């Protein structure tokens, strides 16, 4: 390049200067409490309101991002919790203190199947299976048990396959993306009928 034909400014250089001024401003405002030391620092040449605006914009963006992540976590937790509590069971009601019977779950199966709500019908079959296991003291129902724990427990049965069908279908409905179809319901119903014969 010839003498005197150099670039006087670029976007990269301006951003670098803005970042340096932002760091200096942050140090001046928040990190140094000694006013004598801050007198020796170079002052930011940009408008003070712009620096404060950028700082608070970054703080606001950070708070929005943290709030969004917290919302997503709480939403996932509530969805998981709702899938574990039975449809139609109202917390705090008189019925909440006692568990629905196998017959209650089977009535719910028929009701939801007639309405074409196959996912809920499969879930009711799953709950009827758990209630049957609980009533016969084969596996005592505990709300904290996961589907994986139930799979391990039924694996020891002489005929675990129908139990596994219901548990794995429930798991896919709640935590996967299995679509509720009439065919899926029929498979679950056959599995439950095998369990009832045992």
> Tell me: the pLDDT tens digits for 56-81?
899 999 999 999 988 888 887 777 66
* d(C-alpha 79, C-alpha 187), whole Å: 25
What is the CATH classification number for the domain harbouring 172? Answer: 1.20.120
Predicted pLDDT at 10:
73
Same-domain check for residues 66 and 143: no
The answer as to whether 20 is a domain residue is yes
The answer as to whether 60 is a domain residue is yes
Give the model's confidence band at 106: pLDDT under 50 very low, under 70 low, under 90 confident, else very high.
very high
Same-domain check for residues 113 and 171: yes
The answer as to whether 3 is a domain residue is no
Of residues 175 and 41, more confidently modeled: 175
Residues 6 or more apart whose CB falls under 8 angstroms from that of 90 comprise 96
Domain boundary among 58, 81, 104: 81
* d(C-alpha 58, C-alpha 24), whole Å: 16
User: What integer is the mean pLDDT of 114-120?
Assistant: 89
* d(C-alpha 151, C-alpha 161), whole Å: 10
Same-domain check for residues 111 and 145: yes
Same-domain check for residues 112 and 166: yes
The answer as to whether 87 is a domain residue is no
Predicted pLDDT at 60:
92
Q: Which two tokens stand for residue 172?
A: 């896919």
| Domain interval for residue 112 | 92-197
> Could you give the number of structural domains in the chain?
2
- Tell me: pLDDT of 44 over 70: no
How does 22-60 read in b/e, with b if 16+ C-beta sit within 10 Å?
A: beebeebeeeeeeeeeeeeeeebeeeeeebeeeeeeeee
CA-to-CA dists, residue 167 to 26, 146, 154, 174, angstroms = 56, 10, 10, 11
For residue 96, the 8-state DSSP code is G
Predicted pLDDT at 141:
80
Give the chain's length.
198
Same-domain check for residues 67 and 148: no
Same-domain check for residues 65 and 98: no
Q: Which two tokens stand for residue 153?
A: 């427990």
The answer as to whether 154 is a domain residue is yes
The answer as to whether 16 is a domain residue is yes
């Amino acid at each position: 390049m010839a003498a005197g034909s150099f670039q006087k400014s670029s976007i990269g250089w301006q951003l670098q200067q803005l970042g340096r001024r932002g760091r200096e401003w942050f140090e001046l405002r928040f990190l140094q409490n000694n006013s004598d030391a801050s007198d020796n620092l170079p002052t930011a040449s940009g408008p003070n309101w712009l620096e404060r605006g950028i700082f608070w914009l970054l703080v606001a963006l950070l708070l929005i991002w943290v709030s969004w992540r917290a919302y997503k976590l709480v939403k996932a937790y509530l969805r998981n919790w709702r899938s574990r509590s039975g449809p139609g069971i109202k917390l705090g009601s008189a019925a909440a203190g006692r568990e629905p019977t196998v017959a209650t779950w089977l009535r719910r199966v028929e009701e939801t199947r007639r309405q074409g709500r196959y996912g809920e019908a499969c879930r009711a079959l799953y709950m009827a299976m758990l209630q049957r296991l609980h009533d016969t003291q084969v596996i005592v129902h505990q709300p904290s048990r996961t589907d994986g724990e139930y799979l391990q427990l039924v694996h020891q049965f002489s005929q675990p396959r129908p139990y596994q069908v219901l548990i794995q279908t429930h798991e896919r409905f709640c935590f996967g993306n299995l679509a509720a179809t009439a065919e899926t319901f029929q498979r679950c119903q056959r599995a439950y009928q095998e369990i009832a014969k045992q």
